[in-house]
Structure 1
Amino acid sequence: MTLRNILFILFLIFSSNGLRAQHSIAGKVADSSFQPLPFATIVLQADSSFIAGATADESGHFAISTIDRLHGHYTLTVSLMGYQTLKRNFSYPDTAFLSHIILARDKRTLAGVTIAGKKPLVIRKADRYIVDVENSFLANGNSGLDVLRKSPGVWVSNNGSIRIKGSQSVLVMINDVVQRMSEEELAEYLKTIRSENISKIEVIANPPSEFEAAGAGGIIHIILKKVRNDGFSGGVSTQYRQQGTKPYYGGTATADYRVKNLYLSGAYSYVKDKSIYLATNNIVYPDKGVYSSRTDRDNNAGRHQYRFGIALDIGKTQTINLQTLATVNDLNESFITGIRYLPGTDTITGVANSGRTRDANLQSTTLNYVWRTDSSGSQLKVIADYTNSSKTELNNFSSRYNDPLRNSTYRNNTPNNTSILSLQADYTKVLKNKTEIKGGTKLSAVKRDNEIIREDYTDDNWVLNGAGSNHFIYKEYLLMFYSSAEKTLGRVVLKAGLRAEQTYTKGNSVTSGQKFDRNYFGLFPSFFMMYTLNETQGNSIRLNYTRRLQRPSFTALNPYRLQFDDYTVLIGNPNLLPQYSHNISTGYTFRNEYTAELYFSRTNNVIAELASSAGNNVIEYQSRNFTNSTEYGVSLEAPFKVMKGWTVNNSFSLYNLSYRLDSFSINRTSFSLKSIHTIVWNKVIDIDVVADYRSPYVSANSRIPHMFSFDLEFTRRILKNQGRVRLFLADIFNTLREKETTDYYNTHIDFYQKRPTRIVGVAFSYTFRSGKKFSNKKIDQGNTDEKGRIGN
């Protein structure tokens, strides 16, 4: 099928009314201050008979369509928790009042309300599903990380790794801002967000064309509440936990303030994290030599995070936002390793001591302009971003053996600096016939300056090791365009899009003179379909397809050789190519709660870290392009209520994952099971129980055994419900550990590491508010994929 035929078919789908004529009405819901009210429920009736319904979007807009011709007399009912229900009788086509539907606050809300109906926890859309946090048990006394752990279909490990299904990690966004941190830093940041401030979470397994094509694991988008107190509001929280013999402690303070059309917000957090790890490594080489070691690792990390934002409303249709984020990390680690090596009949023993100090800083400034061009939700958005990341790191290493000829002392200094500048513009047009058209463009420029300075201690002097040193400069330019259209035809929602991305790259190894230029172009189509079988019962089916890519990290492209110890080396690969994946899934939802999904993903040129044996029995770790990988599986969600105040959410995932690298292949069928029990004992205590099991699985050319954790939490509300005290017990049975087994071309590697996962801790949080309500502004960022590849 030619491109012309594909475009013609898309034109017929989105420009025609299909086989059945559609009739619709649209409007906007706001409060008495003309601030939009998202998620209001709108119902259209005729003679008390239900005709159609809708839910207002984030900007308060809604549209109701029906296959029957509109004529005669109708009743429109608009409701939202905390506001008085509005009923309006009208005769079609007299619908001018719909453009400004005003809801008054329900003064009885403070005294308590009785909810007769129950909103579903999960709302399914054509290209994503939405977890309704603020109207569920998830809103009470949890952190942002807790909310993700307890959300259906989201899997969170204790070290902060987050995934949706199968084996792929995801990208996390908060109010359209991509969180570009390490897994551990992101986990700590999510702990500073209170669940009471979260409106909903969007889980997007296959992102549509308006998102960058980079990233294979999908997107989790956390949307904070848009309603805050006028005047001043804020909150403080603190946490302490015991990690074996070492402590962890930290605190956070946030504040928001409004003066007329000016909004100010800020936050600061600090974390001190001390811990001890134990690791063992056993290797059998092709020559039958055997290496074994045990390492005791002492960690001492401090992290500061700052945020400041300012937003200005220009009239009722335009907003300018400026936000600055900063993260400062100070890491100190010491390693003591006992070594036993049997290259043949001789036995070599030794002790290695190493220390690492790292200072890593990241600053990001975003300027965002939004112009709402009409009352139906159309808007123009322009974003300018600048991010700078810098790191200095020093590794000192010294080893002593019973064979003095093997002794060595050296140090590696690895500074780097990354700057990212990006500009993007997006336009959304909402039409009255339940059609939405989007289009946009983006330009980004990246420069990475990375250096490795290797020095050997020889004859009481530090001598530069030219072969182990490298200075590498990398430049990348990205030009992107996209367009998409979404249309509702009765019970069918169709969405299709196309994204084009051109990449220009230049690499220069100043030390060796090695250079490369690489340019590539890609088209990334996406298609989504959802058909509602029964709207009142919440039954629907869906089908979607996307093409995605993953670019190599800046560090992986650097042609360097970084030696960690006498037997372990990390090397770069300037020949890395981007990986491309085709993703397709289909699913069924029953009663808005029970879901089943089948999915398939095929990825070519898979980027994965390969462990292999080199000369002198040194193990090299290098990112390579595997030939391909294939993953297919099924995921199930089954929530239910045991009794009043006791709810259970169960998630199950079964998948098969295989990798192929030339003649080498690895394959495994795995499954994950998570059960979350929430018990609410009103005015006494809340109890949360989380059990999580993952069967053995594969990653690149390694096999990982099963993992199991069991956590217990107790939460007590105090200080007139504005404070929370939490006691938590993590990994009660102390079963979490990290273990990898690698067999590759007659080399066997058995690695084990135990973190202090059995943890007991206590946390306290308190919020304070004053004044009326106002809309909290959010900042969009544009340099999304690029930040994730910084890799400090």
Structure 2
Amino acid sequence: MATCLASGLGLRATAWSQTTDGQTQAESAKADPSQAEPSSGDTSSAVKSDTTTVTVTGKKKAPNDRDVYDVSKDLDAKTGTAADALNKIPGVNVDPSGNVTYHGRNVVVYLNGRPSLMLSGDNRGVALKSMPSAYISTIEVISNPGAQQSSGDGAPIININTQRNMPPGMFGSLSARYSSPAGSLETAFLGITKDKLSITLIGSYLNNEMDSRSLSQTSVLDSTDATLQASSSKGEGRSSYRGPFLMANLQYDLGPNDVLAAAFNYNRMPSDSTDISHAVSQAADGAVTNLFDQSGAGRFVTESAGLSGNYTHYGQKPDETLKMDGSLARSASQNDFRSANTYLISTIPGNTGTRIQTHDRRNDKTKANMHAEYNTPIGDDQLTLGAEVDLEDNTINSRVFGPADNDDNLMVNPLLTDDFRSHQVVSAFYATFQREVTPRWTVLLGLRGEVLHLATNDLTYRTKGNINYSRLNPSLFATYVISSQQKVRFNYTHRQQRPEASDLNPHIVYSSDTSVDAGNPGLKPQESDAIEARYEFNGKGLNYGLRGFWRGDSRTITTVSQIIPDPQGLGNIVTQSTRVNWRRRSAYGVSADVSRQISNKLMFSADATLTQSALRNPQISGVRSATSVDGGFSLNYFFKKGDRIFASYKRVGKSYTGQGYTTGSGQANIQYSRKLTDKFDLELMVDDLFRQTRTVTVIDTPLLQTRFVSSRQSPTFMIGLSRHFSRFGPMRAPAN
């Protein structure tokens, strides 16, 4: 048996081919040049090393649980960002705040196959806007994650794979992107490959400003639907954020079958904000009880850093690999805010003139991961065995001072001050087995076992908690090949959504003058089952697919809200939000996507999803059900000499909760790319052309009705220029 000289992280090969029914990988790719799917079938790969040519023949076992999109073929990758690249994938939407959804569902974002603190929580938005898309090789969409992925979130996974397989030599680029009303992104990229060593360095600096407006209305009702209290406020604000983003990858070929790799990332993003608002509260008879103007200013700083290492060994058999990797990451956020309420009317004694409050909150999270995976062929079948351990420590400190008539008289508010710690260990093993049952049927079976231990410690209340459980999660993926152009895919998975540590914190945590959060120590993990069936047609210049899906959740984790006495003593109507377990939630629907090469110059793609959801709400008799629609389309027109116009529109449909809903929003973009010279590229973009990034969140229960309207004025015009010191050669694709 020949020895494979290629590495999954980097290749010294200079030639690669994969054939499926007589087509190469490039020929069988989707019509959209930014999209490509893995092939399956007989594979014959000619791999040329520095000194020897080796031919490996065998069955190529491509994963059939995901869709893969090749970002390296995107002409806008030179000046674009990761957020731009994600927005070009059918069904994926990144809003101006950095929230990522797939067909209307929130997703988990991975980096190189592993969860990343840099791409989670408050860090994700700025990281996606800072990471250049030139650094991305492929993006994988896993709509129904199986046994190989952690079951902690129960959501679709988007995995961003960065560039690793660089051709020999030194390559570099500089790019700058400027946007209105005020913003910029400068990026530097450097790749060096010599002999057995490859180094990739990237740095960027983001500077952006954003204006926002808000309108909120709250009504407290009695059992007869009569209004007991009501409040409303209207405000506007401005936020600015700026900071660096750094990434580095190093790869070293230890020998013909062994590769060692390491990666480092760092991101720091200070954000300054100011806002003003006008608020009024009324009693049941309509009399004004509170009337005040508020002004506030604050600083929010997020910082994250991560270090990872990977060792890969290639065995004597095709597709035989042993991978071991470990990572250590830390993220920290610090939020300091000062508000001043100037009262014109108040029924609270002492609420006269200006009342000042200050708030500070710090969240520190450290996460370590150790993972090992062994892949081996067994005849024509493929077996994968893996194990991993995740360690996570979380600290949340929250303090509120005031209210007082001046800063010197501020005293700590014990009701809104808390110190909460948590320590979580998740140990997991998994096994998958892929078999070609017949020439047309391929089946992938998976089983994942997880054991969780979570310890919490509320230092304020001096209370501790422990949660321990174990789960077995099966998965099944099957593909039926109808012809060289048609196939049908089926899958079933069972997963959990684990509560976040903050969901278990029983203390009241300040969110704003009119809203607080409180955890639930008794919150249990949500159990989820999902079934999908998809038909795909991949032809010459035409690709389309039709997918049906069903999802069912038991012990559903959802948010409930109630009115509590104002812990600040200001007489405001304060809403407290808490996560609880309800009985069942279900959703089913269909989605369709199509891409068509209309001519040599024009390409068209579109997608749409129709979802019917139902949730049993204990606060309301019966079942609350609703229908939502989301989708989008894009047009790609190519001029001579490589110029291009890209136009797209995406619409995220209405999303429903047990208490109400959030309206959908749309976004239209137009991009023009032009190659000025062999070294310079120009990009012009109009972002959010119709300014439809406006959402309305509604709570509608028998005792509480709220309506919150928010809108953001994101950058509307951008210009980008990139300078290349050398063109990148063809990327060498993994042989295994």
TM-score (norm 2): 0.86
Q: Secondary structure at the match of 1:148?
A: helix
**In structure 1, how many angstroms separate the alpha carbons of the residues matched to 2:213 and 2:278?**
12
Task: Report the AA paired with residue 493 of structure 1.
Answer: T
Which residue in 1 is equivalent to 2:455?
506
Is the Cα contact below 8 Å between 2:242 and 2:270 reproduced in 1?
Answer: yes
Alignment of 1:76-225 (within 5 A): 98-99=55-56, 126-134=64-72, 143-165=81-103, 167-180=104-117, 181-182=119-120, 185-191=123-129, 198-225=136-163
Is residue 125–residue 530 contact of structure 1 (8 Å, CA) maintained in 2? no
Q: How has the CA–CA distance of structure 1 residues 234 and 100 changed in structure 2, closer, same or farther, with 3 Å as cutoff?
A: farther
Distance 2:210 2:73 in 1: 38
| Partner Cα separation in structure 1 for residue 711 and residue 578 of structure 2 | 24
- Displacement of 1:648: 0.3
Report the counterpart of residue 40 of structure 1 in structure 2.
Answer: 17
Answering whether residue 267 of structure 2 is matched by residue 321 of structure 1, we say: no
1:386, CA displacement in angstroms?
A: 1.4
- 1:384 and 2:326 aligned: yes
- C-alpha distance 712-182 of structure 1, shift in aligned 2 (>3 A): same
- Counterpart position of 2:519: 572
Which of these residues, 212, 221, 225, is aligned with residue 277 of structure 1? 212
Q: CA deviation at 1:541?
A: 1.2
Please report how far the alpha carbon of residue 688 of structure 1 lies from its aligned counterpart in structure 2 after TM superposition. Answer: 0.9
- Contact 2:3/2:315, CA 8 A, preserved across alignment: no
Paired residues of 1:41 and 1:79 also in contact (CA < 8 A): no
Rate the CA distance shift 1:27–1:631 in 2: closer, same or farther, 3 A: farther
For residue 611 of structure 2, what is the amino acid of its counterpart?
Answer: Y
Aligned to 1:619: 575
- Determine whether 1:662 maps to 2:618: yes
Task: Provide the rounded CA distance (Å) in 2 between the counterparts of 1:506 and 1:229.
Answer: 48
Alignment gaps of 5+ in structure 1: 1-24, 66-75, 84-95, 102-122, 778-792
Q: Which segment drifts farther, 376-385 or 176-185?
A: 176-185
1:739 correspondence with 2:689: no
The structure 2 residue matched to 1:451, chosen from 390, 397, 406, is 397
Cα separation, 2, equivalents of 1:337 and 1:43? 62
Question: Residues 223-622 of structure 1: matches in 2 within 5 Å?
Answer: 223-243=161-181, 247-286=182-221, 287-343=227-283, 344-347=285-288, 348-403=290-345, 405=349, 406=351, 408-431=355-378, 433-458=379-404, 460-489=408-437, 490-535=439-484, 538-591=485-538, 593-615=543-565, 617-622=573-578
Checking the alignment, whether the CA contact within 8 Å between 1:248 and 1:273 is kept in structure 2 is: yes
Instruction: Tell me the distance in 2 between the aligned counterparts of 1:774 and 1:124.
Output: 19
SS at 1:209 equivalent: coil
- 1:630 matched to 2:582? The reply is no
Residues 577 and 78 (structure 1 numbering): CA distance in 2 closer, same or farther, change over 3 Å?
closer
Q: Find the aligned partners of 1:588 and 1:392 in 2 and give their Cα distance.
A: 48
The 1:359/1:732 distance shift into structure 2, 3 A limit, reads closer
Tell me how far apart the structure 1 counterparts of residues 480 and 447 of structure 2 sit (CA, whole Å). 22
SS at match of 1:285: strand
Give 1:697 deviation, angstroms.
Answer: 3.4
**Alpha-carbon deviation of 1:234?**
2.0
Q: Which runs of 5+ in 2 are unaligned?
A: 30-37, 222-226, 567-572
| Of 202-211 and 523-532, the range deviating more from structure 2 | 202-211
For residues 370 and 295 of structure 1, the distance between their equivalents in structure 2, rounded to whole angstroms, comes to 55
The structural deviation recorded for 1:190 is 4.1
CA-to-aligned-CA distance 1:91-148 (integer Å, 9 cap, x gap): xxxxx974389xxxxxxxxxxxxxxxxxxxxx99632223345567787875443332
Q: Is the 8 A contact 1:666 1:701 kept in 2?
A: no
Identity of aligned residues (%): 18
Q: Distance in 1 between matches of 2:27 and 2:728?
A: 32
More off after superposition, 755-764 vs 435-444:
755-764
SS of residue in 2 equivalent to 1:289: strand
Asked whether the 8 Å contact 2:636–2:646 carries over to 1, the reply is: yes
- Give the partner amino acid of 2:12: Q
Paired position in structure 1 for 2:569 = none
* Residue among 705, 713, 719 paired with 1:756: 713
Task: Report if the CA contact (8 A) 2:79-2:176 is conserved.
Answer: no
Post-superposition offset of 1:203: 1.8
Task: Report the Cα distance in structure 2 between the residues aligned to 1:79 and 1:423, rounded to whole angstroms.
Answer: 34
Q: Which letter maps to 2:243?
A: R
Q: Which position in structure 2 is the counterpart of 1:685?
A: 643
Q: Tell me, yes or no, if the aligned pair for 1:179 and 1:186 is still in contact at 8 Å.
A: no
CA contact (8 A) 1:141 1:715 kept: no
Q: CA RMSD in A?
A: 3.4
The CA distance in 1 between the partners of 2:435 and 2:2, in whole Å, is 14
SS of residue paired to 1:42? coil
Q: Does the aligned pair in 2 maintain the 1:27–1:100 contact within 8 Å?
A: no
Is residue 4–residue 54 contact of structure 2 (8 Å, CA) maintained in 1?
A: no
Residues 143 and 34 of structure 1: CA distance in aligned 2, closer, same or farther (over 3 Å): closer
Q: Cα deviation per residue 1:41-93 (whole Å; 9 max; x = unaligned)? A: 33789xxxx9xx9999xxxx99856xxxxxxxxxx98799xx9xxxxxxxxxx
User: Which amino acid counterpart does residue 102 of structure 2 have in structure 1?
Assistant: I
* Number of residue pairs matched by the alignment: 690
**In 1, are the aligned partners of 2:671 and 2:685 still within 8 Å (CA)?**
yes
Q: Report the alpha carbon displacement of residue 467 of structure 1 after superposing the two structures with TM.
A: 2.5
CA–CA separation in structure 2 for the residues paired with 1:358 and 1:635 = 39
The alignment partner of 2:145 has SS state of coil
* 1:531-587, Cα deviation, whole Å (9 max, x unpaired): 10112xx11112110111122223222222123444222223332222121011111
8 Å CA contact retained: 2:210, 2:715: no
Alpha-carbon deviations, 1:481-513, whole Å to 9, x = none? 111111123111110010000001111111111
